Every structure is written in structure tokens, then in C-alpha cells.
């Protein structure tokens, strides 16, 4: 397995371009199952999770190919040949977001067989809300040999309330509802930009969705949809990660091709740590001047502070001048990075859903191990800040969600290298 080797304490200076958002691309790929014809998708990040999802689409009989036009890459997808309705264990096991095929398959062909995702490193992550919604829309569900088997005639509109707002749950049920008979109302729905982007694309395809960005989404079912050309929004989590890299090691980065509106909670929190952030919606500069201040952070559904940046901001708090409390309210077991950060000298204590962090003067290098996608990003930030050379193993987690991470960081002054597995003794 590949490793990342980082020689710390080299400040960053330059410009980083942000890639398309993984979490926006995945539901949009799923939406191509809703109708035949060619979709032309732009700004799809080249990531392992995207590859896993396109493999799943190909398994279902979908045609997928890349093309380049005017220096932009496009992913061309046509599900006219849809011939299967199963998401097998081997793919769902690799990526839970595979569950996103459930809604569109039920919507278009009224049947789906999807492996039930198991637990994962950050908690139990159930899909009960996805399933409850489908049942209310008239689907018959049964669990057989680890698979959810779902069947329905044409789904019918329903009033569905999320006990807790679920991002992929909202996306799945929105896709289930667009071709259903009648109107569906999703209450306490997720408001993440990726949910809005999917809804906008579905509307462009001919759906009738209202209330995107609010917690009540209304979907009036239609009979037919059409394929569209669509551009994926920038990855707000990737952008937030690089902003925090400036906090970890200095000095100044320009972050380009973003939608800063999607990062309001993050920018506000980072300003409270003392980082100077200026710019407009598409391009910002982040500068570190002086020591970091400790701040408390609580993760919340959008527009609150994202759980996907919790591990990364913990690195800044480990280096800040005081005491801070980070509370994780979304996932029950998302502190796997704490033990690894401690190996680098961080002073962090976990009490239930909170981590209490006492800032230290500096971190020191050590071999560490990535445990999940965002935890891995936090280890990269810690490695950039630490004195000496930090080796991170199991970096395949990073390849799931950060496009060209080493290249982007090396181009702005980081000393970071990948050791290919066959070179590691
Ligand atoms: C998505 C993101 C992930 C992010 C998370 C929270 C994608 C592909 N992934 O994951 O990066 O960390 O949102 O912002 O977009 N829940 C239930 N029952 C359900 C579904 C969810 O109880 O049926 C709970 C979860 O356990 C969790 C909370 O709801 O406590 C939010 O999870 P959810 O928004 O569903 O996360 P994902 O959509 O899996």
C-alpha cells in the first residue's frame, strides 16, 4: 500500500485550484440512471470513489466514456442500455454512497437489489430513513442474504419526514420522487449545496422540485425526463482542507475555482482562529499572521460547520494557544484521528462526543496511519506542521476524496512525496 512522506514546516505559498465535489458528483452520476440518452458531465474529479461508482453504473449496463473538448474533460454517460438492477456487496462495501442507485432504479424501473452497507470507520451509519421513505412511496422491501430487495409499480407521492436530515437520504428520495405519481414532500430535508445541485440538475432534466435549500422539499412527479449537460460544483471540503493547511503551516494561499458562499461557517470559524481571509465568491486568499487562537467547534448539518472538516480543524486547535472543545454531533465515532494526532504530540482528550484540545507549541513527526478519508486529510495537515518527516500509511483513503493531493501541495511549497507500494520495503 502506498505511503505519503511529508517533511514538515515548509510554509505554503501560491495558488491551488479546487476540483469538482465528490459528494456532488456521486448523486449526479446516480441521476443518470433516471433516463436514457447521453449526459455530458463536466468537472468530475478523478477519484477512486468516482471510479467505483462508474464501475457500478457499467455493471448495470450503462455506457461511460471520457472525452476532452476545449481543454475540459467530460464524462459521457448513457443509461439507455440499463439491463441490471443490482448493486453488489463488493462495490457497496468499498463505498457506502453506492446506495444512491436505489432511488433512481426504483423511480425508473420499479426494482432494485442493493447490498446493505455494513458499519464503517466513522460509525454505524444506518440507511433506515432511505428505506422508510421508499416504503411510504409504496415500495415493498425485504432483506435477503444481506441485500435490500425493493419492488414497486410506479412509486406514489408521499409525505416523508426525516428524523435527522440525511444528505444521501434526501438525494435518494428526491430521485425516487421525480417520476412518482403525485406529489412528495420531504420534511426536515438536508440543505447541503450538493443536495441543491442535484435538485437543480433534476429540474433541468424536466423534474418539478421546489424548496431546494430549505428544509421542506416538494416534488411533483412527472412522466418523463431528458438527459442534460451538467457541471459539478467545486468541492467545499477540499477547499476548506487547503484553507486549514495555511493555518497548520503558514503562509498564504490563493484558493481558486470555489464557491465561497458554501463555506460561510468555515470561513467565519477560521477568521476567529486569526487567519486572514479575503476575496470574492470564486477566489479567496488565506493568510496566517501570528499564532492561532483556540475556538470551540460543533459540527452540524449545513449551513453549520461540516463534520467532513472536523478532523482537519482539530489539527489547528492542537497548535493553537489555549483550550478548545470540538463536539461531533453527526457521527458517533468520528474521532479515529485523535490517537494518531496524539502520536505526533497533540494534547487531546475525548469525552463522549467532544474532544478537549490543549494547544501545544509544535507537533513532532511520527509514523501514522490513515483511518478514513477526512482523518487522513487531518494527518496530512499535521505532517505539514510537524517537525521532521512524517510517514502516513493507508493513503488509499485520501485517493477516494482528494484529487492530486500531493501534486497540489507540492506545487505550493510542501515537501510531500508518495512512496509507491512496490518501492516500500
Ligand atoms: C453524506 C456525505 C458525507 C458527510 C455526511 C454528513 C456523501 C456521499 N457523503 O453522508 O461525506 O460526512 O453526509 O454531512 O454525500 N442517518 C440515519 N439514518 C439514515 C441516514 C442517516 O440515522 O437512514 C444518520 C447518520 O447516522 C448520521 C446523520 O443521519 O448521524 C447524517 O448522515 P447522512 O447525512 O445520511 O450522511 P451520508 O449521506 O451517508
Q: How far apart are CA 162 and CA 186, in angstroms?
A: 7
pLDDT band at 425 (very low <50, low <70, confident <90, very high): low
Cβ proximity of 341 and 380 under 8 Å: no
pLDDT for 286-340, tens place per residue?
999 999 999 999 999 999 999 999 999 999 999 999 999 999 999 988 999 999 9
* Residue 230, phi then psi, degrees to nearest 5: -150, 140
H helix or E strand, kind and range, residue 30: helix 22-31
pLDDT for 54-110, tens place per residue?
999 999 999 999 988 877 889 999 999 999 999 999 988 888 899 999 999 999 999
Q: Smallest Cα–Cα separation from 178: which of 229, 233, 226, 129?
A: 226
* Ligand 1 midpoint to CA 173 (Å): 14
Mean pLDDT over the full length of the chain? 95
Cβ proximity of 232 and 23 under 8 Å: no
Cβ proximity of 67 and 229 under 8 Å: no
First vs last C-alpha separation in the chain: 11
Radius of gyration of the chain (CA): 22
Q: Which atom of ligand 1 is nearest to the CA of 168?
A: 38
| Residue in 30, 50, 169, 265 to alter for ligand 1 test, most ligand atoms within 8 A of Cβ | 169
Nearest CA to ligand 1 atom 7: 23
Q: How far apart are CA 177 and CA 173, in angstroms?
A: 6
Q: Where in the chain are the domains? A: 2-19+234-420, 22-231
Indicate whether 423 pLDDT > 70.
no
Mean pLDDT of 121-139: 87
Q: What residues does ligand 1 touch, defined as CB less than 6 Å away?
A: 23, 26, 97, 125-130, 164, 166-169, 190, 194, 307-308, 330-331
Residue written as grid cell 481543454: 71
pLDDT for 122: 59
pLDDT for 332: 84
Cell of 231: 457541471
DSSP label at residue 173: H
* Ligand 1 midpoint to CA 167 (Å): 5
* Residue 89, phi then psi, degrees to nearest 5: -50, -40
Q: Smallest Cα–Cα separation from 104: which of 96, 114, 94?
A: 114
CA triplet 418, 307, 327: central angle to 5 degrees? 120
pLDDT for 420: 86
3-state secondary structure of 224: coil
Strands (E), 80-162: 86-87, 111-115, 140-144, 147-151, 159-161
The CATH classification number of 2-19+234-420 equals: 3.65.10.10
Q: How far apart are CA 338 and CA 25, in angstroms?
A: 30
What pairs with residue 416 in β-bridges?
6
Indicate whether 51 pLDDT > 60.
yes
Q: How far apart are CA 241 and CA 378, in angstroms?
A: 8
pLDDT band at 117 (very low <50, low <70, confident <90, very high): confident
Same fold, 2-19+234-420 and 22-231: yes
What pairs with residue 369 in β-bridges?
393
Strands in 251-256's sheet, in edge-to-edge order, are: 12-17, 251-256, 283-287, 276-279
pLDDT for 314: 98
Mean pLDDT of 203-209: 98
Residue 125 bears catalytic tag: no
Name the catalytic one among 48, 64, 120, 259. 120
CA triplet 392, 394, 398: central angle to 5 degrees? 85
Nearest CA to ligand 1 atom 26: 125
Indicate whether 267 pLDDT > 70.
yes
What pairs with residue 6 in β-bridges?
390, 416
Domain 22-231 has CATH 3.65.10.10: yes
Residue written as grid cell 477568521: 271
**Length of the chain in terms of residues written:** 425
pLDDT for 72: 81
Nearest CA to ligand 1 atom 25: 125
Indicate whether 124 pLDDT > 90.
no
| Residue in 120, 161, 166, 303 to alter for ligand 1 test, most ligand atoms within 8 A of Cβ | 166
Q: Which atom of ligand 1 is nearest to the CA of 164?
A: 29
Strands in 297-298's sheet, in edge-to-edge order, are: 297-298, 323-327, 354-358, 347-351
Q: How far apart are CA 206 and CA 41, in angstroms?
A: 17
Amino acid at each position: 500500500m502506498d505511503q505519503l512522506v511529508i517533511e514538515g514546516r515548509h510554509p505554503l505559498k501560491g495558488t491551488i485550484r479546487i476540483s469538482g465535489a465528490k459528494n456532488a458528483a456521486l448523486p449526479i452520476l446516480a441521476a443518470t440512471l433516471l433516463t436514457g440518452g447521453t449526459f455530458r458531465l463536466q468537472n468530475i474529479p478523478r477519484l477512486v470513489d468516482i471510479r467505483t461508482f462508474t464501475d457500478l453504473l457499467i455493471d448495470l449496463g450503462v455506457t461511460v466514456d471520457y472525452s476532452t473538448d476545449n481543454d475540459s474533460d467530460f464524462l459521457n454517460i448513457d443509461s439507455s442500455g440499463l439491463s441490471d438492477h443490482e448493486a453488489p456487496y463488493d462495490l457497496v462495501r468499498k463505498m457506502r454512497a453506492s446506495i444512491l442507485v436505489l432511488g433512481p432504479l426504483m423511480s425508473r424501473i420499479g426494482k432494485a437489489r442493493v447490498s446493505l452497507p455494513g458499519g464503517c470507520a466513522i460509525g454505524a451509519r444506518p440507511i433506515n430513513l432511505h428505506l422508510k421513505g421508499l416504503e411510504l412511496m409504496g415500495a415493498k422491501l425485504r432483506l435477503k442474504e444481506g441485500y435490500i430487495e425493493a419492488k414497486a409499480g410506479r412509486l406514489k407521492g408521499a409525505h416523508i419526514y426525516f428524523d435527522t436530515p440525511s444528505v444521501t437520504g434526501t438525494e435518494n428520495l428526491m430521485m425516487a420522487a421525480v417520476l412518482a405519481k403525485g406529489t412528495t414532500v420531504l420534511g426536515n430535508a438536508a440543505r447541503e449545496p450538493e443536495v441543491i445541485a442535484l435538485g437543480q440538475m433534476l429540474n433541468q432534466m424536466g423534474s418539478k422540485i421546489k424548496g431546494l435549500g430549505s428544509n421542506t422539499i416538494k416534488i411533483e412527479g412527472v412522466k418523463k425526463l431528458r438527459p442534460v449537460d451538467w457541471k459539478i460544483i467545486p468541492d467545499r471540503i477540499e477547499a476548506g482542507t487547503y484553507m486549514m493547511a495555511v493555518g497548520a503551516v503558514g503562509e498564504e494561499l490563493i484558493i481558486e475555482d470555489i464557491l465561497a458562499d458554501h463555506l460561510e461557517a468555515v470561513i467565519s470559524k477560521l477568521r476567529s482562529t486569526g487567519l486572514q481571509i479575503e476575496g470574492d465568491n470564486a477566489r479567496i486568499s488565506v493568510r496566517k499572521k501570528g499564532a492561532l487562537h483556540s475556538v470551540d467547534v460543533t459540527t452540524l448539518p449545513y449551513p453549520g460547520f461540516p463534520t467532513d472538516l472536523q478532523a482537519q480543524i482539530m489539527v489547528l486547535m492542537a497548535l493553537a494557544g489555549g483550550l478548545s472543545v470540538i463536539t461531533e454531533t453527526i457521527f458517533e465515532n468520528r474521532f479515529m484521528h485523535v490517537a494518531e494526532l496524539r502520536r505526533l504530540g497533540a494534547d487531546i482528550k475525548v469525552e463522549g462526543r467532544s474532544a478537549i484540545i490543549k494547544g501545544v507549541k509544535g507537533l513532532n513527526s511520527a509514523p501514522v496511519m490513515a483511518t478514513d478519508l477526512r482523518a487522513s486529510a487531518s494527518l496530512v495537515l499535521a505532517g505539514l506542521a510537524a517537525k521532521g518527516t512524517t510517514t502516513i500509511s493507508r493513503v488509499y483513503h485520501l485517493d477516494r476524496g482528494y484529487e492530486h493531493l500531493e501534486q497540489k501541495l507540492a506545487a505550493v511549497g510542501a515537501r510531500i512525496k508518495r512512496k509507491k507500494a512496490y518501492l516500500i520495503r
